[in-house]
């Protein structure tokens, strides 16, 4: 039988410590050549709305220990929007009744069968937050107590939950450009976690006197300045576009999520310029930086002393992350009796592909 889950069921299935352990296992498998990734690819077509583009994204990866491979796809309309002098890439909820389409499909590497289908929403937020938390666990000072978080959306929520799970955080400062959003977000997270949380008026105020700083936004421009980083801080960024380039040189130790590949972009043949919403990473040599898997298996140290500035850049997503979190949700959902099962035969055929 093939298990079908919705986001509410995925939320019930995913527990913080299970997610951290499963993702850690996946990266350790990767470190010994027992996991596989395919680079993310984006295919684009013009859209009728202004400054908008149709974007189809896919990525896959498998983990030998779990016996699964996951395929993640999204079918989106993306639009450039200017908010407070910052250009943001927004996904437009045009599917159904104001909704989005994103799926994780989980396959058995033993039989080839389709094990599960689930929305990618919570899986997507969780896989980034878990990876950042593992980076902080390896690089942030053990006595870190104050977290500065820039962002107030889904990624910021996931990062709040997971970063405060790997260090004994006693105070969190929140900044995002919309005062109402940041105040509501701070109140919600304080109620959920019982950690004192303060909404502040500037990004610099959110960074000042912190032990861990995290930017978790959809900004296409830097949202903080590297000069704000202080000795002993650990900085985490979830997108290359939101970081100040100078942070790479200002930091004593830099680690990245992956050196593997990059995002492959495909536009209609003959198009001589990018469509709106296309974001291309700056060409750079990632080989100079250790990966998260190198930190977790001890190939490189996280930090040598409490004065160093450390920086973990969650630079590019990978299929292994979706395999790990998809498997984590699938396993727990089966144990808890969550979801609906449909005949796997619906997806099988007697014609050899």
CATH number reported for the structural domain that contains residue 48 in this entry: 3.30.1780.10
In this predicted structure, what is the pLDDT of residue 138?
97
Residues 208 and 294 occupy one common structural domain: yes
Structure tokens at 199: 């909404």
In this predicted structure, what is the pLDDT of residue 280?
87
pLDDT tens profile 204-254: 999 999 999 999 998 878 999 999 999 999 999 998 889 999 999 999 999
Residues 184 and 298 occupy one common structural domain: yes
Residue 274 lies in a domain: no
Q: Label residue 340 exposed, middle or buried (CB < 10 Å: 0-12, 13-18, 19+).
A: exposed
In this predicted structure, what is the pLDDT of residue 234?
98
CA distance 326 to 104: 7
Residues 144 and 84 occupy one common structural domain: no
Please check whether residue 30 is in contact with residue 131, taking contact to mean a CB–CB distance below 8 angstroms. Answer: no
pLDDT tens profile 210-222: 999 999 998 878 9
Q: Label residue 227 exposed, middle or buried (CB < 10 Å: 0-12, 13-18, 19+).
A: exposed
Q: Among residues 216, 284, 283, 223, which one has the least CA distance to residue 254? A: 284
Residues 129 and 116 occupy one common structural domain: no
Residue 100 lies in a domain: yes
- Residue 36 belongs to domain spanning: 2-124+319-347
Pairing of strands 86-91, 52-63: unpaired
Q: Which three-class secondary structure state does DSSP give residue 217?
A: coil
Residue 270 lies in a domain: no
In this predicted structure, what is the pLDDT of residue 282?
82
Mean pLDDT per 10-residue run, the chain (353 residues)? 98 98 98 96 96 97 98 96 77 96 98 98 97 98 98 97 98 96 97 98 97 93 95 96 94 94 90 90 88 95 96 95 98 98 97 92
CATH number reported for the structural domain that contains residue 169 in this entry: 3.40.50.720
Please tell me the total count of domains within the chain.
2
Please check whether residue 224 is in contact with residue 208, taking contact to mean a CB–CB distance below 8 angstroms. Answer: no
What lies within 8 Å, CB to CB, of 332 at 6+ separation is 13, 14, 15, 18, 338
In this predicted structure, what is the pLDDT of residue 164?
98
User: What backbone phi and psi angles, to 5 degrees, belong to 243?
Assistant: -90, 155
Residue 71 lies in a domain: yes
For the chain, the farthest-separated pair of C-alpha atoms sits apart, in whole angstroms, at 64
Residues 225 and 253 occupy one common structural domain: yes
CA distance 137 to 141: 8
Residues 283 and 299 occupy one common structural domain: yes
How far lies 327's CA from each of 5, 130, 151, 205, 318, in Å? Answer: 12, 14, 28, 39, 15
Residues 205 and 283 occupy one common structural domain: yes
Residue 112 lies in a domain: yes
Residues 206 and 293 occupy one common structural domain: yes
């Amino acid at each position: 039988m093939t298990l079908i889950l919705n986001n509410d069921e995925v939320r019930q299935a995913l527990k913080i410590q299970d997610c951290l352990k499963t993702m850690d296992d996946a990266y350790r498998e990767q470190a010994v050549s027992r996991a596989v990734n395919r680079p993310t690819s984006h295919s684009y077509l013009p859209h009728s709305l202004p400054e908008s583009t149709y974007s189809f994204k896919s990525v896959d990866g498998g983990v030998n220990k779990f016996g699964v491979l996951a395929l993640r796809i999204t079918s989106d309309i993306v639009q450039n929007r200017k908010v407070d002098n910052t250009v943001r890439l927004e996904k437009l909820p045009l599917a159904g009744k104001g909704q989005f389409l994103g799926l994780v499909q989980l396959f058995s590497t033993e039989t080839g069968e389709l094990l599960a289908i689930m929305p990618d929403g919570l899986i997507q937020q969780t896989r980034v937050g878990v990876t950042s938390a593992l980076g902080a666990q390896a690089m942030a000072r053990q006595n870190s107590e104050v977290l500065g978080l820039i962002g107030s959306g889904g990624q910021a929520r996931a990062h709040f939950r997971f970063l405060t799970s790997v260090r004994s955080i006693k105070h969190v400062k929140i900044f995002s450009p919309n005062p109402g959003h940041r105040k509501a977000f701070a109140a919600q997270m304080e109620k959920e976690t019982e950690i004192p949380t303060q909404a502040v008026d500037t990004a610099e105020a959110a960074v000042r006197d912190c032990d861990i700083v995290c930017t978790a936004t959809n900004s296409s421009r830097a949202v903080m300045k590297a000069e704000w980083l202080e000795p002993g801080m650990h900085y985490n960024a979830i997108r290359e576009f939101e970081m100040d380039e100078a942070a790479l040189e200002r930091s004593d130790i830099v680690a990245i999520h992956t050196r593997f590949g990059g995002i492959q972009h495909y536009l209609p043949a003959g198009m001589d310029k990018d469509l709106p919403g296309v974001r291309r990473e700056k060409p750079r040599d990632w080989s100079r930086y250790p990966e998260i898997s190198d930190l977790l298996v001890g190939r490189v140290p996280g930090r040598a002393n409490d004065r160093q500035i450390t920086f973990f850049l969650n630079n590019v997503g990978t299929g292994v992350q979706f395999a790990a979190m998809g498997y984590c949700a699938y396993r727990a959902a089966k144990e808890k009796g969550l979801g609906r099962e449909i005949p796997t035969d619906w997806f099988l055929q007697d014609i050899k592909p």
